[in-house]
Each structure stands twice: as C-alpha cells, then as structure tokens.
Amino acid sequence: MSKKTYFLKQFWSEKKMVGSMIPSSRYLAKKMLQNVDFQKARVIVELGPGTGVFTRKILEQMHEDAKLLVFELNDQFYERLQDEIQDDRLILIHNSAEFIQKFLNDAGFLDADYVISSLPLSNFPKNLRESILKSAHHCLKNDGKFIQFQYSLNCKKILETQFNETDIMFTPLNFPPAFIYTCSK
C-alpha cells in the first residue's frame, strides 16, 4: 500500500489524532528543517512522525553522534516506522508527546536541542494541548527551539504564551498550505 493510501486509511480511523488526509510535502519538510543547526544538534525530538516524511529528512542531515527521539501514538504508524527505518540514532517511542522528559531521561539525556512537531494541536482538547506544549518547553535547552506546523494561525496565541519568541513562515506548497512556527525557549 502506498504511503498516501496508508495515511488516508489512518486518517479515516482516527481523524482528530491524525489531523490530515495525506502526508506533508517535501517542500514543507524542507521549510520545517531549514533553521535546524544539524552540525550542532545532538538531541532532537520529533512529535507525530506519521509515515516519517520529516523523520527521514532529519536522519539524512543529522550528525552521526546525535540521537532522534520520535513519539508516535498511532499503533499502525509506529509499527510501520519500526519496520521501515533502521538507524542506530533513532529511538522510536510508542507513547504520547506529553511524556518527553521521562523518555529523554530514560535514554540518558537531560534536555533537547530541538522539538519538531507535526501534532494537530488545534484538534486536541485544551488540557492535552497545554500539557504537550509544557512538555516540549520544559525539555528544551535554554537556546533550544520548538518547530511546529499548523494549517491555521489558531494556535499562535497559545504558542506565544508558552514560548519567549515566535517566528512564523508560510508555504503554499503543501496540502493544505501550512504555517511553520519556530519558537525560542
């Protein structure tokens, strides 16, 4: 089954959690990662990899000594990623993005350089959204960055409340077109 068909199938079974009908485009992936300093970063966290569009791009560019902790809650996406990506730098976690700090510590790290998120925050209940954003903020180094895409500006306020500084970029080259938030701790 192609990645697009597979993604659509997951969308129909868990609409709010998956949040999109098709995987993100390579243009969005490029924009999401353009401000990541891969030479410097040693610990990167990814939230909501789906079929792994961003995961693969991160691993392509990541330092050989760096680690990537990836949180995926959906059983099928998790199992497919486990089968498809073999890389010693990848730590795939079948759990919710609220628990970043616990899994970072279990892997022997105190904090992360970047949190890169595709979670459909606007679909989540307020408590869950706040808890995930707190978890992302808490796990970052002082100069760390939280990078998140969304299909609207609905979450602008809450991101600005949680983070010190927020830059917004836009790409029409995705379905749906997307806003990319880069938030500094």
Ligand X SMILES: C[S@@+](CC[C@H](N)C(=O)[O-])C[C@H]1O[C@@H](n2cnc3c(N)ncnc32)[C@H](O)[C@@H]1O
Stretch near ligand X under the rule CB under 6 A, chosen from 60-68, 79-87, 113-121, 164-172: 113-121
In the block, residue with structure tokens 């790290």: 109
Buried b (16+ CB within 10 A) or exposed e, 147-169: bbbbeeeebeeebeebbeebeee
> Which CB atom, from 81 or from 183, has the smaller least distance to ligand X?
81
Among the listed residues 18, 43, 45, 180, the single contact to ligand X using CB under 6 A: 18
Among the listed residues 53, 58, 68, 180, the single contact to ligand X using CB under 6 A: 53
C-beta separation of 11 from 20 below 8 A: yes
Among the listed residues 45, 72, 91, 178, the single contact to ligand X using CB under 6 A: 72
Q: What is the spatial distance between Cα 144 and Cα 128, in angstroms, rounded to a whole number?
A: 22
Q: Is residue 136 at the binding interface for ligand X, with CB under 6 A as the rule?
A: no
Q: What is the spatial distance between Cα 99 and Cα 73, in angstroms, rounded to a whole number?
A: 11
Q: Is residue 119 at the binding interface for ligand X, with CB under 6 A as the rule?
A: yes
Stretch near ligand X under the rule CB under 6 A, chosen from 13-21, 37-45, 79-87, 135-143: 13-21
Q: What is the spatial distance between Cα 36 and Cα 182, in angstroms, rounded to a whole number?
A: 10
Q: Is residue 19 at the binding interface for ligand X, with CB under 6 A as the rule?
A: yes
> Which CB atom, from 118 or from 166, has the smaller least distance to ligand X?
118
